Amino acid sequence: MSDTPVIGVLALQGDVREHLVALAAADAVARPVRRPEELAEVDGLVLPGGESTTISKLAVLFGLMEPLRARVRDGMPVYGTCAGMILLADRILDPRSGQETIGGIDMIVRRNAFGRQNESFEAAVGVQGVEGDPVDGVFIRAPWVESVGAAAEVLAEHDGHIVAVRQGTALATSFHPELTGDHRVHALFVDMVRANRAAESL
């Protein structure tokens, strides 16, 4: 088994290309995933930013929703940014009609939570597990996490709101590290994928 993990980016809608670039910069082999056969081949998966209702409807249409739920349930490492964070929430506070989630993190998210005051902004965010300076958080019609269950760990807050969470092999951020050229959050995820592969091959 090669040491380089293969990480997919769910490529139904959203900022797929930026994640592929960031993952490659963080020393993973990165590939778009559109079909269940492609999902079966990756060691981990990124759920990009975009529009969570659209992604969820396309996932159902492409026959990916159940395979996605099954792999996340089985412990495949997964990282969701913004819309991707919404997809990883076990519960959405204000879902649109027809909007489903993959789930995996025991948290309740509020969609467009920051967007009401401010469509888009950047802020320095200290993220647990990311060494050095705070991360430049890019928030675009971003959700926040209203509350987390006991199994979920809060990694970052902004203005008193939870904006990064980890539960086991699942990671989620309200913001978009793939847009900044700083690959430390992707590197954290690549490390999670490596650790999971090592544990599975024992």
Q: Which residues are catalytic?
A: 82, 176, 178
- Structural tokens at position 13: 């809608």
Tell whether residue 82 is a contact of ligand GLN (CB under 6 A).
yes
Task: By CB under 6 A, name the one of 103, 112, 146, 161 that touches ligand GLN.
Answer: 112
Name which of 9 and 43 has its Cβ closer to ligand GLN.
Answer: 9
User: C-alpha 64: how far from its chain's center?
Assistant: 16
Q: State the nearest-atom distance from the C-beta of 125 to ligand GLN, in Å.
A: 15
Tell whether residue 56 is a contact of ligand GLN (CB under 6 A).
no
Tell whether residue 161 is a contact of ligand GLN (CB under 6 A).
no
Residue type, 124: A
Name which of 82 and 171 has its Cβ closer to ligand GLN.
Answer: 82
- Structural tokens at position 166: 């980890």
Sign of CA dihedral 151, 94, 66, 45: negative
Determine the 3-state secondary structure of 194 from DSSP. Answer: helix
Tell whether residue 83 is a contact of ligand GLN (CB under 6 A).
yes
Task: Give the contact letters, 118-157, x = binds to ligand GLN (CB under 6 A), - = no.
Answer: ----------------------xx----------------
Q: State the nearest-atom distance from the C-beta of 192 to ligand GLN, in Å.
A: 21
Q: State the nearest-atom distance from the C-beta of 7 to ligand GLN, in Å.
A: 19
- Structural tokens at position 78: 């997964």
Task: By CB under 6 A, name the one of 51, 65, 144, 185 that touches ligand GLN.
Answer: 51
Interface residue list for ligand GLN (CB under 6 A): 49-52, 82-83, 86, 111-112, 140-141
Binding residues: 50-52, 111, 140-141
Binding residues for L-glutamine: 50-52, 111, 140-141
